[in-house]
Structure 1
Amino acid sequence: MGALPTVVELFGRQAANTPDKIALVAGAERLTYAALDEAANRLAARLAAAGAGPGTLVAICAAKSAACVTAMLAVARTGAAHLPLDPSYPTARLELVLADSGAHLLLTEGEPVTIGVPVIRLDEDQPPAAPFAAAPPDPASPAYVIYTSGSTGRPKGVVVPHRALTNLLYGMRDLLGSTEDDVWLSVSALTFDISLLEIYLPLVTGGRLVLVDSRTTILGKRLAALIEGEGVTHVQATPSGWRVLAYAGFRDPRLTGLIGGEALPAALARDLRPRVGRLVNVYGPTEATIWATSWEVPPEPETISIGDPLPGVTVHVVDDRLNEVSQGELAIGGICVADGYLGRPALTAERFVPDPYGEPGGRLYLTGDLVRRTDAGLEFLRRADTQVKVRGHRVELGEVEAAMDDLPGVRQSVAVVSGDALVAFVVGDCPDLRLRLAAVLPSYMVPTRVIRLDALPLTPNGKTDRRALEEKV
């Protein structure tokens, strides 16, 4: 396979082919491909003048908007990688990630969250700039960095190259049969890597992107009305997000639905399948570039599969010596594998290992997910560690526990998940524990319930008995 084009080239070709077609809708704002291309070009010139370019990282901290999509395209044009930050996160969290990432620039709206990083305001009029011209990014260079929860209490940045992103877009284009008539709804937060599929796939295939504000995503009837009003053809959401639509009575036989980010319950699959024309269960960790496998949900599914690998992806079910087994840890290889963790060589070496099944120099990402092979494809069983999913967000319970242990009055703590809720068990007394956690952790990592105990239950070998705690919820 020759060098893959990057999103910069793919979008540029589309803008040249269909300049007057609507590319993006954000509320009352509607941008043609030509207008979006010109805005990205103008911002790219300003970013390059401020030092953005190959080998640099540009943070984007703003609510989802047309300006954010413009910024993503502009950053890519300079050859830099973009780092999405959620403006709703606590200032301490934003500053931690900015410092850890070494970002060269911060694009934001309103007052900046930090000092020490040059800031460009997206909500101010952009000054005139000369046309920006630069060679397309190297396909091997980073396209973006996404921070995920860390088991040691420190979040980690996953570095994903352009070639992996393009491979994902090509694979999903072919799986879904993308056309210029597609209208994609973007409901996912920019810090959730699946948002990149919602944004980039329509823009590189000539479709239309419809952005949804964070409030509308939780209002089922309003979301359903937007889908109908804009003629949306593709919706991607977590099981939690699809429940919002299902509870609102949503049904649209024209729609293609993608569901992923959390394990798909069979009952929900059976409820959703007749509501849409097509339902695809997708699976993939951030380290394997958004989605790695897919499964077409059949009518009346009895069991749930995460399916088979997308093009450019290899999957292996292995034991602790990387021998192939019928049931074990899922290891993912191929062009989809990320470069590793930003500035974390030891952790990268631990999770990204040489691929004994592929070409020399290839690597496998050890997911920590236990699976088994079935006739229908791979079946997800459980995690091999304490990583969990909370409303689609990846959470390392160790990071939540480390934050609690740092609080005054907390002697011991354990976090568990019950349904969609994160629950904390605490030995000791810390007034306003949830409020204090909200000052350092994103909202989805703050336990919704705190249970105080005199002592934590132990297993016979002296370890914390998590199963006994889960039974207390």
Structure 2
Amino acid sequence: MTTAAHGIWFTEKAGVAGSAFHMALGIWFDGDLDEAALAKACAAVIARHEALSTVFTAEGFAPAAEKVALTHAAFSPDRVSQELARPFDLGRGPLARFTLLRENPRRCLLLFTAHHLVFDGMSKDILINDLALAYNGNDLGPLAPLTAHTPAATQWSPPQGDVILPGLIRQPAAAEPGLANTFTVGLTPLEGVTRFEHVLAAIHLVLARYGNAGLPVAVGLSTRDSQHTGHIGLFVNELPVTVAPAVGSFREYALGLRSRLRELYQRRDVPLSLPGVRPTPSLTPISVGYRRRGPAPAFAGVDTEVQWALFAGSARNAMHVQIVDDGSELLVSLQHSPTAIDSASVTRIAAHLRHALAAAPERDVARLVIEPVPSEWNATERPYPAQVTVLSLVEEQARQRPDAIAIADTAGTVTYGQLQSLVTQRSQAMAAGSIVPLKMGRGLDAVVSMLAATHAGAAYLPVDPAYPVARQELILQDALSHPVDGEVAYVMYTSGSTGKPKGVAVPHRALANLLLGMAELLGSGPDDRWLNLTSLSFDISGLEIFLPLVTGGRLIIASEVSGQDGRAVNALIREHGVTHVQATPSGWRVLLESDLPPGLVALAGGEALPLDLARQLRARVARLFNVYGPTETTIWSSADEIPSDPEQITIGRPIANTQLHIVDEQGQSVPIGVPGELCIGGHGLANGYLGQPELTAERFISLDGQRVYRTGDLCVRLSDGRVAYLGRSDSQVKVRGHRVELGEIEQRLREHPQVTDAAVALRGEQLVGYVIPAAPADLKSHLAQTLPAAMIPSLFLDLDRLPLTPNGKLDRAALPAPAPRQAAPVKAAPTDEIAAFLKEIWQELLSIDEVGLDEDLFDLGGHSLTITRINGRIFQRYGIEVPLEIFFDTPTIAEIADYVREAR
């Protein structure tokens, strides 16, 4: 048995292949078909090709007990599907079948289905040619015998990794019921490369533009030589071609792939070595099959039409791309599982592939737009006065309603008229062009000072009195050394990656745009009452404070003491008839647990909103908005109103005069459904960082002529135009070659009903989960439902609370390291004859002098062929066949010995 055949047989034995290895073609006959001649032709083909009468067992191959015969049935699409998917018994056979399905007296379909163990792509040409010769009355004659197969002396391991595809939910671990998205497309010749290389380059280019780098794509390469001419059988080896970054012209990209293929051709007889990989129908997430087909041979007296690539209904991996090339156009079939990747996204991928196939040879592939974002998704223009400030908007309200109450706090209330007077008086002590530190908590005094700074032509700087003294001094020292102009409304300090806080200078225009845009979105007006619950040093407090004041509403300020108590906050909401409340998801949990009054308009932002919390909160409030935005783009840049029974939480669409762009590492727009970095443009952008021009130039860049801010957040655009937040780009790690987004794992953990909050960190080479609180066994099972094995933490730690930065964000670096594992004990001696026997064959097959009873077979270099040989020895000695899953779940001598003892 060849290595390729062994891999297929092993996968079938593991029960994960479905019909993924069924190969089929159909021949439509129109006219007076001679069924007797066709039956004789089918028998002649079977007689000529020994492979079609072969069965496979653990010991190798043998003749089938039952010969293939032509069967008849009435045609129906369902019958075709049934025939294609009907299982083969590898040990009994036959492994091929002919079925004649009659649609009407003059039209029928000859359906041939064979198992891949005895059939490959080239075999289809041989089969149909021999079938036509025999039908037309020719004697096929015998084939020259094949020499024995010599196994390759070496093995090699390809790079491993995951895959980025639009709409990909998960990578199937086994073949699943699938669908095929099929289309035809023309192909203009590309000088210097074959049509196959041209097509494969286009596929690789699309994958590269999705963000895949170094991803192995499996390509079936023929291992036939001169002696195999005319023989039906399995003469192919599936080997990986890695995706290269999208650079240079399309011609250069295709030539580079051609060069890699030429290197791979030298290894086409060399089997892959993938220790520890469970059997799957494909060893890579993406695979490609390509066949060049000429005109079909004639069958005397009837017209024929050949269906070369019938889909047997099982998706073998994330996506299999099957291509039939007739020399003028391509028939492309994207085979996938609709539960692993949604069909709408596959349709989109097909469109991307068409764009790539049509790429001009000299086009720069890094700038090739495979899917433009609809312009209306960023068409958010709203007019407003150029010189407007928050103060001018408040003053307009004071003119319209001077006696209306503007602010209420623990000290009492003030009207709009009184507020204007207080602001004017306070501004006299402030100098234009200066930064005014506000080292105070929430209250009327703080609001007056903020507006007074604008009146004086200064900028205000909130400094939280709760900060450590050293941090306060660092902020003040940095800020007061940098004068600002009259365009700056405020300066807000955020944490810096170097450990030093950085000051973000926000202009009046940006603040006014945020307030007017959110007022339009929320419909906030004079009858509404907003609660100021957030610390002044958190920029989102600006929305709570100013939005009611610029729309004629009333601001209710929670004291520093009551703001820490959920019951006190809820009492304040009831007492003042508050209509709008903004809080972080953590804050909303506290309020919900403290009998939150119903009927509010709620805004949740500042951190990811878990789906379970969104559902609880939405059931309690009148309207719920998930809002998103970094300090550098002025509080909020997007919002999404959450429906009554949400299935997914997104950050929604851009607010007024704001554009959201999702780009790859080259700054090019990524297609819908593909993750990328979110860049934000529009009127909300800050001027930059105080005294840090290099950092400003690094984070505020030009994108297609527009100034944008690079958020560092990974996001994905959905098909309806909304944007989903995936996590921080700096929280992306690599685990065993797989790209892992820690934020996605954390989100899945938070969806568990027993988890209040969660975090994940990479410690050494293992993922560690931190939860409050839950049972680790439940969590692993929960994650396994939606995440691949590489994304499931190997260890969970229960914490009372997660460590936070001064701004209330997760401090991943402060998560505790797990206790070191104890050193492995000295290798114990076998306890009985079974363990001694297993140790002996383990050491022999692995070529290792000493193997411990508890050492992992795969860590020692074992693979599927090793398992087969071990199992064969066990069967010979004890008459016991160990199920393959036992080897993968418990791959040690001690545990396999336990199974054998129990089975005897």
Q: Equivalents in 1 of 2:676, 2:402: separation in Å?
A: 50
> What is the aligned partner in structure 1 of residue 448 from structure 2?
70
CA shift for structure 1 position 218: 2.9
Contact 2:574 2:597 in 1 (8 A): no
| Larger-Rg structure | 2
Letter in 1 for 2:683: I
Give the root-mean-square deviation of aligned CA atoms: 2.9
Contact 2:573 2:597 in 1 (8 A): no
Q: Equivalents in 1 of 2:560, 2:820: separation in Å?
A: 40
1:234-260, CA deviations, whole angstroms, 9 ceiling, x for partnerless residues?
Answer: 00000011111111121412x110111
> What is the aligned partner in structure 1 of residue 571 from structure 2?
225
Letter in 1 for 2:668: N
TM-score (normalised: structure 2) = 0.39
Contact 1:184 1:202 in 2 (8 A): yes
Query: Is 1:269 aligned with 2:617?
Result: no
Letter in 2 for 1:260: G
Once the two structures are superposed, the pairs formed by residues 65-464 of structure 1 within 5 Å of their partners are 65-102=443-480, 141-253=487-599, 255-326=600-671, 327-356=675-704, 360=705, 362-376=706-720, 377-386=722-731, 418=770, 442=806, 444=808, 451=816
CA shift for structure 1 position 63: 1.5
SS in 2 for 1:385: helix
Higher relative contact order (CA 8 A, sep 6+): 1
1:424-467, CA deviations, whole angstroms, 9 ceiling, x for partnerless residues?
Answer: xxxxxxxxxxxxx99xx8495897987478989xxxxxxxxxxx
User: What stretches of structure 2 of length at least 5 have no aligned partner?
Assistant: 1-382, 733-741, 744-767, 774-802, 822-904
SS in 2 for 1:46: coil
Q: Equivalents in 1 of 2:637, 2:808: separation in Å?
A: 25
User: What stretches of structure 1 of length at least 5 have no aligned partner?
Assistant: 106-136, 390-415, 422-436, 457-473
Letter in 1 for 2:446: C
Q: Equivalents in 1 of 2:427, 2:713: separation in Å?
A: 40
Contact 1:218 1:244 in 2 (8 A): no
Decide whether aligned partners of structure 1 residues 373 and 256 sit closer, same or farther in structure 2, where only a CA change above 3 A counts: same
Letter in 2 for 1:154: K
Given the alignment, which residue of 27, 31, 39 partners 2:414? 31
Letter in 1 for 2:399: A
SS in 1 for 2:413: strand
Contact 1:285 1:367 in 2 (8 A): yes
SS in 2 for 1:368: strand
Decide whether aligned partners of structure 1 residues 218 and 308 sit closer, same or farther in structure 2, where only a CA change above 3 A counts: same
CA shift for structure 1 position 215: 2.7
CA shift for structure 1 position 46: 2.1
> What is the aligned partner in structure 2 of residue 120 from structure 1?
none
Decide whether aligned partners of structure 1 residues 281 and 447 sit closer, same or farther in structure 2, where only a CA change above 3 A counts: closer
Q: Equivalents in 2 of 1:272, 1:350: separation in Å?
A: 38
1:29-71, CA deviations, whole angstroms, 9 ceiling, x for partnerless residues?
Answer: 2111111111111011122xxxx10x32111101211111110
Contact 2:607 2:809 in 1 (8 A): no
Contact 2:680 2:710 in 1 (8 A): yes
Decide whether aligned partners of structure 1 residues 351 and 455 sit closer, same or farther in structure 2, where only a CA change above 3 A counts: farther
Aligned residues: 372
Q: Equivalents in 2 of 1:445, 1:214: separation in Å?
A: 20
Given the alignment, which residue of 15, 18, 33 partners 2:401? 18
> What is the aligned partner in structure 2 of residue 128 from structure 1?
none
Decide whether aligned partners of structure 1 residues 443 and 352 sit closer, same or farther in structure 2, where only a CA change above 3 A counts: closer
Contact 1:4 1:166 in 2 (8 A): no
* Structure with greater proportional strand content: 1
SS in 1 for 2:622: strand
Q: Equivalents in 1 of 2:629, 2:818: separation in Å?
A: 37
Contact 2:627 2:636 in 1 (8 A): yes
Contact 2:632 2:709 in 1 (8 A): yes
CA shift for structure 1 position 363: 0.7
Q: Equivalents in 1 of 2:653, 2:597: separation in Å?
A: 27
Decide whether aligned partners of structure 1 residues 66 and 280 sit closer, same or farther in structure 2, where only a CA change above 3 A counts: same
Identity, in percent, stands at 48
Q: Equivalents in 2 of 1:88, 1:103: separation in Å?
A: 23
TM-score (normalised: structure 1) = 0.73
Decide whether aligned partners of structure 1 residues 152 and 172 sit closer, same or farther in structure 2, where only a CA change above 3 A counts: same
Decide whether aligned partners of structure 1 residues 450 and 278 sit closer, same or farther in structure 2, where only a CA change above 3 A counts: closer
> What is the aligned partner in structure 2 of residue 42 from structure 1?
425
Decide whether aligned partners of structure 1 residues 417 and 332 sit closer, same or farther in structure 2, where only a CA change above 3 A counts: farther
1:243-290, CA deviations, whole angstroms, 9 ceiling, x for partnerless residues?
Answer: 11111121412x110111100101001101010100011000001110
Following superposition, which runs of at least 4 residues in structure 1 exceed 3 angstroms of deviation? 386-389, 416-421, 441-456
Contact 2:667 2:703 in 1 (8 A): no
CA shift for structure 1 position 178: 1.5
Q: Equivalents in 1 of 2:653, 2:542: separation in Å?
A: 21
Contact 1:57 1:103 in 2 (8 A): no
1:10-33, CA deviations, whole angstroms, 9 ceiling, x for partnerless residues?
Answer: 111111211111100111421111
> What is the aligned partner in structure 1 of residue 436 from structure 2?
58
SS in 2 for 1:252: coil
Q: Equivalents in 2 of 1:312, 1:4: separation in Å?
A: 16
Contact 1:5 1:163 in 2 (8 A): yes
Letter in 2 for 1:17: Q
1:74-93, CA deviations, whole angstroms, 9 ceiling, x for partnerless residues?
Answer: 11100111110001111111
Q: Equivalents in 2 of 1:67, 1:297: separation in Å?
A: 35
Contact 1:90 1:442 in 2 (8 A): no
Letter in 1 for 2:493: Y
1:192-223, CA deviations, whole angstroms, 9 ceiling, x for partnerless residues?
Answer: 00100111111111100011123322322211
Decide whether aligned partners of structure 1 residues 234 and 149 sit closer, same or farther in structure 2, where only a CA change above 3 A counts: same
Letter in 2 for 1:325: V
Q: Equivalents in 2 of 1:6, 1:418: separation in Å?
A: 45
Deviates more, 1:315-324 or 1:370-379: 370-379
